[in-house]
Amino acid sequence: MPEAYHVAIMGATGAVGTELLELLEERNFPVQELTLLASQRSAGKELFFKGKPIKVKAISDVDFADIDLVLASAGGSVSKEWAPKAATAGAVVIDNSSAFRMDPDVPLVVPEVNPESALNHKGIIANPNCTTILMSVALWPLHQHQPMERIVVATYQSASGAGARAMEEVKQQAQAILQGEEPPTESFPYPLAFNLFPHNSPLNDQGYCQEEMKMVNETRKIFGVPGLRVSATCIRVPVLRAHSEAINIEFTQPLTVSKALDLLQTAPGVKVVEDWQTNYFPMPMEASGQDDVLVGRVRRDLSHDHGLELWLSGDQIRKGAALNAVQIAELLVDKQALKPKALA
């Protein structure tokens, strides 16, 4: 009999949690038993897995002693409290929050980039930030062929990055504005419908927000290049789902557009989308629900002999969060690095 696992989803009722549930079923992950965890407020709700209802439990009511794998997406404060407890109990935790990403003892993993890092965990594996994941998948095949010296990225981040409630709020804002009413602003500090603004995470002394510094520091860690020069500007835009990024890359040596396209077309997790005749390139509407990161509009940087420009769109909830976590879990299973406690 193939090995199967007792899997727990922490934060099961959120946007990423429900996507994790769908992906486990869609990808036929070997689940022997599934435990759904959320806040006390959400306890008792029913979600469905393979047609069967499962009641959500409060995280505080669960013993992790018989759980093999925890897919955590309940926020940093929850992860800081419960991920170490689950790991101490012998579970492997794949955490989607920012709580452990820069911890030197915690691997930060994008399976298409640094899969070997996942095998060096001490009970917790970190899922990178959504924008970092999408950029890493697109840039890694280029970096492997021709090392990068500098990355300048501007992100166009959808409401989905702030969760299901934020997505619904944008719809309500649009309706209110069209009716001449005051739009609600609970998930964001300003109306996002028919508007855009810099990412509202806290600013540091240099004027970079937390979201931008995640891209800087996480990319360096994932690529294994501590000195890689990265600058990011993160913008929230009135799109429901899927993020986009405009990226300028400076290489150590020139890289032709044709060679870059050859590398991208064979890269795992990447789909090249470009038709110059019709001005058709990646769009968040078409990236939504897709596993691949859509990449296109690859062109030479006219201002630098070693520079290229590209544009991408990727599903923030899927590859930018839930899918990456499930792929890490699949990697552990494939490498026989996840053993069911029931067989121990």
Annotated binding site for substrate: 157, 236
Helix axes 130-145, 257-265, angle to 10 degrees: 120
Cα distances from 240 to residues 82, 182, 256, 288, in angstroms, run: 30, 20, 35, 9
Tokens encoding 115 = 């899969």
Q: Which residue numbers belong to the known binding site for phosphate?
A: 101
* Rounded distance between C-alpha atoms, residue 183 and residue 296, angstroms: 35
Residues serving a catalytic function are 130, 243
What's the number of CA atoms in the CB half-sphere (13 Å) around residue 5? Answer: 25
The binding site comprises: 13-16, 41-42, 101, 157, 160-161, 236, 316
> Is residue 258 within 8 Å of residue 277, measured between CB atoms?
no
The DSSP-derived string for 217-284 is: HHHHHHHT-TT-EEEEEEEE-S-SS-EEEEEEEEESS---HHHHHHHHHTSTTEEE--BTTTTB---H
Torsion of CA 270, 275, 280, 285, to 10 degrees: -30
